[in-house]
């Protein structure tokens, strides 16, 4: 297929906004779509937030003109019609199979022939995502799993199916490498692929053990961060970054897909503290804070 000249990202949350900002900053026009909250007076608030975040990033990034033009219309049929001139459509909505599939049907009705559609799913196998969506869609579809934060994490996991067009894969790989500076790793179509099959297991086990040992959050992270060669956020800081609300969806899709005797099944345990935090809206950095009570605007501790 021809070069990817225009990209769309659907879902302007933690990942979608970051991916769109990164693409835009590479100088490529990108459309960022999300559901506009009822009564919102600024339909472009999410894109403006993504740009502001990018401006605050350390080290300060180069800002392309395209990044400054990042816009967020909604997800009505009129908004989705704008996908018609996009070459690569990246889905980054909530980790729920039914929501993603319903969106693919709407995308498929408006996208141009030969455009590529990919999912940023953390865990859902490709075969499940494309089930019932028809051969043409399956040929144009792959998984492109970015890591958080998309600007800094170089890894991009790619999953294809036997139906995926080789030239669609090539175009995405070329773009990811030359425009986005990513290192592509090809994964089998397994729950959690490679990164999350290992990474989420590690994260979940570490959290459960820290609770069982009665460790303070800071105590656990002081050890399970940089000193041990793990992400500098530590375990609980990483959960705040990822979003606590994402974890139940990840566990649901992983436990449903893995055999009953898989070690992951034993690692997943209901943690009342996290349930309570979620019930009170402490989803992590993207919301009003998480374990560290950091909010999206920076380091304020509100505890």
| Contact call for residue 252 and ligand NAI (CB under 6 A) | no
Position 9 contacts ligand NAI (CB under 6 A): no
In angstroms, rounded to a whole number, what is the distance separating the alpha carbons of residues 124 and 14?
A: 18
**What tokens does 197 get?**
């099959």
For ligand NAI, the closer CB: 29 or 145? 145
Catalytic status, residue 251? no
Instruction: Tell me the closest approach of the beta carbon of residue 270 to ligand NAI, in angstroms.
Output: 20
Q: Which two tokens stand for residue 73?
A: 């219309």
22 Cβ neighbours under 8 A, 6+ residues apart: 150, 151, 180
In the block, tokens 């501790």 appear at: 301
Tell me how far, at minimum, the Cβ of 250 lies from ligand NAI, in Å. Answer: 6
The site that binds ligand NAI (CB under 6 A) totals a number of residues, namely 28
126 binds ligand NAI (CB under 6 A): no
Task: Name which position in 9, 47, 246, 294 contacts ligand NAI (CB under 6 A).
Answer: 246
Residue 122 CA to residue 148 CA, distance in Å, equals: 11
| Residue 16 lies near ligand NAI (rule: CB under 6 A) | yes
Interface with ligand NAI, residue 153, by CB under 6 A:
no
Q: Does position 103 bind ligand NAI by CB under 6 A?
A: yes
The H-or-E segment that residue 15 falls in is helix 14-25
Q: Which is nearer to ligand NAI, 94 or 127 (CB)?
A: 94
Assign 90 to helix, strand or coil.
strand
Nearest residue to 10 (alpha-carbon basis) of 60, 47, 39: 47
Name the strand (E) or helix (H) holding 91: strand 88-91
Per CB under 6 A, which region of 114-122, 128-136, 210-218, 264-272 contacts ligand NAI? 114-122
For 228, residues 6+ apart whose C-beta sits below 8 A from its C-beta are none
Among residues 115 and 120, whose Cβ is nearest to ligand NAI?
Answer: 120
Judged by CB under 6 A, does residue 120 bind ligand NAI? yes
Please count the other Cβ atoms lying within 10 Å of the Cβ belonging to residue 188: 11
Which among 22, 145, 249, 251 is annotated as catalytic? 145
Q: Which residues are catalytic?
A: 145
Q: Which residues bind ligand NAI (CB under 6 A)?
A: 10-16, 33-35, 75, 92-95, 99, 103, 120-122, 145-148, 242-243, 246, 286
């Amino acid at each position: 297929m021809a070069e990817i000249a225009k990209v769309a990202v659907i879902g302007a949350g933690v990942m979608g906004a970051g991916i769109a900002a990164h693409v835009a900053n590479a100088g490529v026009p990108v459309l960022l779509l999300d559901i506009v909250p009822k009564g919102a007076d600024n339909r472009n608030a999410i894109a403006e937030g993504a740009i502001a975040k990018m401006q605050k990033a350390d080290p300060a990034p180069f800002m392309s003109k395209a990044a400054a033009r990042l816009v967020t219309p909604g997800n009505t049929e009129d908004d989705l019609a704008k996908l018609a001139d996009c070459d690569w459509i990246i889905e980054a909505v909530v980790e729920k199979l039914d929501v993603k599939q319903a969106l693919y049907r709407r995308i498929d009705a408006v996208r141009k022939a030969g455009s590529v559609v990919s999912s940023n799913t953390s865990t859902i196998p490709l075969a499940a995502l494309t089930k019932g969506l028809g051969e043409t869609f399956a040929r144009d579809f792959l998984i492109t799993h970015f890591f958080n934060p998309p600007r800094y994490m170089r890894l991009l996991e790619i999953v294809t199916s036997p139906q995926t067009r080789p030239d669609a894969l090539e175009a995405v790989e070329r773009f990811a490498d030359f425009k986005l500076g990513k290192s592509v790793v090809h994964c089998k179509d397994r729950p959690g692929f490679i990164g999350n099959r290992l990474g989420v297991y590690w994260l979940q086990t570490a959290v459960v053990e820290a609770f069982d040992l009665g460790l303070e959050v800071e105590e656990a992270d002081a050890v399970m961060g940089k000193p041990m060669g793990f992400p500098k956020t530590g375990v609980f800081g990483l959960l705040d970054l990822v979003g606590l609300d994402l974890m139940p969806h990840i566990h649901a899709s992983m436990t449903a897909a893995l055999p009953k005797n898989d070690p992951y099944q034993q690692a997943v345990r209901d943690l009342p503290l996290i349930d309570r935090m979620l019930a009170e809206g402490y989803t992590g950095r993207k919301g009003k804070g998480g374990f560290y009570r950091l909010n999206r605007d920076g380091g304020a501790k509100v505890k």
